[in-house]
Structure formats: structure tokens, C-alpha cells
Amino acid sequence: MTSLVAHVGGVAVFDDLLPGKLLAHVRAAAESQDYAAREHKGIAYEGVGTEIPYDPWPVLSRALGRQVRPVIYEGRPLTFFRRSRHGEDSTTWIHPDTGVDGEFAGVLYLSEPGGPGYGTAFWSHQEHGAQLDPAELTPELAAQLDRDGQDDERWQLVGFVAQRVNRFVTYPVSLFHSRMPQRVPADHRDRLIQAFFFD
């Protein structure tokens, strides 16, 4: 059964999101499908898989205890698999998800962690704090955050959620966050997650 294991600073963590049979089906689909670069609002993201073999929204609604409304992008609810592998360093590392419409993002881990440092980190920027107000986003600030997003010297680590298969972490899109580690080592397996965006 799904259980809430932490709820701190707007970040909520649930274990055992999917029932066992469905989890196996979803992991098999994530492991076997084609991944490609996809564009979202003009930015290309590597390692995106779009063949989602189930309807996740009732599952999320049940876990969160409220009716979840998916962000609709190009006529489809916005959820996809994401694969990170050695040598594929896609897009900015530390970032907010405010480029997506909707209030919340979610990540469901589908692969085993490569070690204890695997998961999702939350960060506070030296000058701009732990979250981005989209109303304050100027082109200059966007450029600075893009630059600083590759350099953890500009940030303080404020939270960490460890990767675990079937663990679901959800957070407001305004929070600065990153995958951990920044780069998948050569001798480690691919990192597979399913991402969700919703209100």
C-alpha cells in the first residue's frame, strides 16, 4: 500500500506508489522503449520516452488524497519517462520546473539507485533563495540561473530524497532541485524515472 513517508517544506515523499503487478509492467515499458530528444516550449530535453502504458492520474489522486489535474501539453497530459545515462548530460542540472504550466512536479523512481547518493536534491541559491518567483524572472536572471545551475558552489543543499524503486516525490515547480548525482558514472546503469506535472 502507498504510504506517505515525509512531508517537509512543500516536498512530499510516498513509497510503494504503484501496486506490484502494475509496477513490473511500467518498469518493463520504461526499460524497453525508445528514448529521444523532445522539445518543450522550444527547449530540447534528451532521453524522453512518451509511451506511458497506464493511466497514472487516478493513482496520484489516490496517493495525494485529492483530485489531481494533469497539465495538458499539445493535447496530452504531461507525463513521460526520462532516462539519464552515462555521457548524456542533458539540460541544466540545478533548476526549477517553472517552465512548465502547472503548480506541482512529481518524479517516480523506476530504477535501482547506483549508490546512496542517488536521488533528488533541493537547493537554495546564494542570492535568490530556494524558490523562483516566475514574476521576477528576467532574461538576465534566467541566464544567470542557467550558468549557476551547473555549479553547486553557488548553492546550499537544503534537502535530499533518496532514490528507491516505486518511491514518488512531489514538490512545487518553483523549488530549485536537481537529480543526484549530476552525472551517471560509466559503470552505473541508466537512471529511469517517470515525470508528472499537475495542479
* Residues at the interface with Fe ion (CB under 5 A): 97
Give the CB-nearest residue to Fe ion: 97
Q: Which is nearer to Fe ion, 63 or 173 (CB)?
A: 173
Closest approach of Fe ion to the CB of residue 162, in Å? 17
Whether the Cβ atoms of residue 4 and residue 16 lie closer than 8 Å to each other: no
Q: Which is nearer to Fe ion, 165 or 195 (CB)?
A: 195
Which residues are within 8 A (CB) of 94 and not within 5 positions of it... i.e. 6 or more apart? 121, 123, 148, 149, 150, 152, 155, 176, 177, 178
Q: Which is nearer to Fe ion, 18 or 100 (CB)?
A: 100
CA-based angle 73:78:81, to the nearest 5? 135
Q: What is the rounded distance in angstroms from the CA atom of residue 150 to the CA atom of residue 152?
A: 7
Closest approach of Fe ion to the CB of residue 30, in Å? 18
Closest approach of Fe ion to the CB of residue 97, in Å? 4
Q: Which is nearer to Fe ion, 97 or 148 (CB)?
A: 97
